[in-house]
Amino acid sequence: MTEHQLRELEFQIARYRRLEREVTDPLAACLLHSIIEDLEAELRRDTADWHGLRD
């Protein structure tokens, strides 16, 4: 993943976090939270790859 793609992923996570704070439907909030967790896990994995920390 390129540095630009990593930044885009960070931007996407921030957007979903903002939506999660604004949403009033509990199911929607739960789904958004799940999406955020998945994206954060992807970001951690790809950041480790980017820095050469992963085998």
How many domains are contained in the chain?
A: 1
Instruction: Report if residue 45 sits inside a domain.
Output: yes
Mapping DSSP onto H, E and C, the string for the chain reads CCHHHHHHHHHHHHHHHHHHHHCCCHHHHHHHHHHHHHHHHHHHHHHHHHCCCCC
Instruction: Report if residue 13 sits inside a domain.
Output: yes
Instruction: Report if residue 17 sits inside a domain.
Output: yes
Instruction: Report if residue 42 sits inside a domain.
Output: yes
Instruction: Report if residue 55 sits inside a domain.
Output: no
What predicted TM-score, i.e. pTM, was given to this entire model?
A: 0.79
- Domain limits at 28? 3-50
Instruction: Report if residue 32 sits inside a domain.
Output: yes
pLDDT digits (tens, 9 = 90+) for 9-55: 999 999 999 999 999 999 999 999 999 999 999 999 888 766 665 54
pLDDT at 1: 74
Task: Tokens for 53, please give them.
Answer: 């920390």
Instruction: Report if residue 26 sits inside a domain.
Output: yes
pLDDT band for 3, please (50, 70, 90 cuts). Answer: confident
User: For residue 16, what are the contacts with CB-CB under 8 A and spacing of at least 6?
Assistant: 32, 35, 36, 39
